[in-house]
Amino acid sequence: MIMYGNEAILYMNKFESFVKQGRVIKEDERVNKKEYEAFVEEHCMGSFFQSVDWGAVKEGWISRQVVTRGKDGNINASMQVLIKKIPYLNISYMYAPRGPVCDFADEDGLRELMKEVDKLQKRYHAFAFKTDPCIEEGDRVAIENLKKVGFEYLITKDGYDTIQCRSNYVLDLEGKSCEELYSAFHKKHRYNIRVAERKGVECSFFGIEKVEDFYQLMIETGERDGFKIRSKEYYARLIRKQENKAKLCMCYYEGMPVSGALIINYGGRMSYLYGASSNNHREVMANYLMHWTILKHCKELGCSIYDFMGIPYYYNKAHKNYGVYRFKKGFNGRVVNYAGEFEKVYYPVVGRMIIKIMNLLGYKL
């Protein structure tokens, strides 16, 4: 995990080592991709994790989309379900990152959507289904309705042990000018931005042509901070599949890459998905200028939110990852605490036994 600026990203890569090769079904036969994407992207509970293109990025997973419709024939609830087949066994595990996309106050609607998911469970012999929806921890109505339709609320699970980080740091952009945003930064952040500018750090946006530079920074960061990184092909595929939504923000000093971020703009929400920095020239403060450059770009695109993504253990100053929160806090945003994970086990005895075994092996189920 990259300092948990990438932490909120789907963390099933350990599980993926079980599978040498998998297939991804881009679209359910009954769901039109354009219609589905329009619904998810415009919905207040929508997330790029629920986009068809994100499902296509996940090699080794089967991606299926289910929907329910109102009397007018339009989609009123949706969910993308990723399915991982367990090698040598005729069973699978299902996961809906940041799903479903629906009105969680509508218990009947949620129940109808789950009927569609249960059809997938039977088809793929899933022993369990996990989801971590975009609902905040204080949304008791949503939490209770999820429990009513068969989910167990994994409330005791530590936020660092969940697939997606339970706490994100976001900056609201709507109604604020670039000048207002900048003036609200911590004075040390403003100073470091000016340092980077005086030193001649150059930040620009790129597509797949700079993946090699970004990947080399990822290697450095992974070795420095002790985490496993994705393959270069993964980052390239993510940018290709997300079309014009994903891009790289790269910072160069004296012609050398010193900082980079992979960002995704989905539904007016810009997300800082992956970030990396060089061990060299850290004194030029490239990371500060990089995020300021991204924020100005957000305003140009009309984004309403910049999501810095995860802030693990932000409440514990003694924790080694507290510095992640301290850095992001300097941009004067706010903490969003999500409810966390919900799980439905279809075969209680066998299913929980499998989950326990997989957890003992180090997989986040």
Domain assignment of residue 221, yes or no: yes
- Do both 20 and 130 map to the same domain? yes
Judge if 318 and 179 occupy the same domain: yes
- Residue at 23 is within a domain: yes
Considering the domain architecture, whether residues 181 and 312 belong to the same structural domain is answered as yes
Phi, psi of 117 (to 5 degrees): -65, -40
206 and 320 in a single domain? The answer is yes
Residue with token string 């799903």: 99
Establish if 333 belongs to a structural domain: yes
Q: Is the domain of 183 the same as that of 105?
A: no
User: Across 29-74, where does the E strand assignment appear?
Assistant: 62-69
Cα separation, 106 vs 113, whole angstroms: 11
> Cis (ω within 30 of 0) for the bond into 348?
no
- In this structure, are 208 and 322 located in the same domain? yes
Q: Do the domain assignments include residue 308? A: yes
Q: Same domain, yes or no, for 200 and 307?
A: yes
Same domain, 151 and 205: no
Exposure class string for 236-246: b at 16+ Cβ within 10 A, else e: bbbbebbeebb
Residues 256 and 285 in one domain: yes
Selection from 69, 74, 65 nearest residue 120 by Cα: 65
Is residue 176 domain-shared with residue 217, that is, in the same domain?
A: yes
CATH of the domain at 266: 3.40.630.30
Nearest to 28 by CA among 124, 144, 128: 124
The CA distance from 84 to 208, in Å, is: 28
Strands 167-172 and 334-337: antiparallel
Longest dimension (CA), the chain: 63
* Residue 4 belongs to a domain: no
Q: Which two tokens stand for residue 254?
A: 């004296």
Other Cβ atoms less than 10 A from the Cβ of 147: the count is 12
User: How many domains does one find in the chain?
Assistant: 2
Measured distance between the N- and C-terminal CA atoms of the chain, rounded to whole angstroms: 17
Residue 104 CB partners (closer than 8 Å, separation 6+) = 45, 110, 133, 135, 139, 141, 142, 145, 146
Cα gap 3→250, rounded to integer Å: 18
Residues 140 and 26 both lie in one domain: yes
Determine the 3-state secondary structure of 186 from DSSP. coil
**What domain range is 182 assigned to?**
168-337
With 0-12 / 13-18 / 19 or more C-beta atoms within 10 angstroms meaning exposed / middle / buried, residue 300 is exposed
* One domain for residues 134 and 256: no
Question: Helix 232-241 vs helix 211-225: angle between axes, to the nearest 10 degrees?
Answer: 130
Tokens of 82: 């990723």
**Tens of each residue's pLDDT in the chain, 365 residues:** 333 344 333 333 333 333 333 333 333 556 899 999 999 999 999 999 999 999 999 988 999 999 999 999 999 999 999 999 988 788 999 999 999 999 999 999 999 999 999 999 999 999 999 999 999 999 999 999 999 999 999 987 665 678 999 999 999 999 999 999 999 999 999 999 999 999 999 999 999 999 999 999 999 999 998 889 999 999 999 999 987 899 999 999 999 999 999 999 999 999 999 999 999 999 999 999 999 999 999 999 999 999 999 998 898 899 888 999 999 999 999 999 999 999 999 987 777 787 777 777 766 55
The DSSP secondary structure of 300-336, one letter per residue, reads HHT-SEEEEEE-TTTT-TTSTTHHHHHHHHTT--EEE
What would the two tokens of residue 91 be? Answer: 């069973």
Give the other-Cβ count within 10 Å of 283's Cβ. 10
Give domain status of residue 156, yes or no.
yes
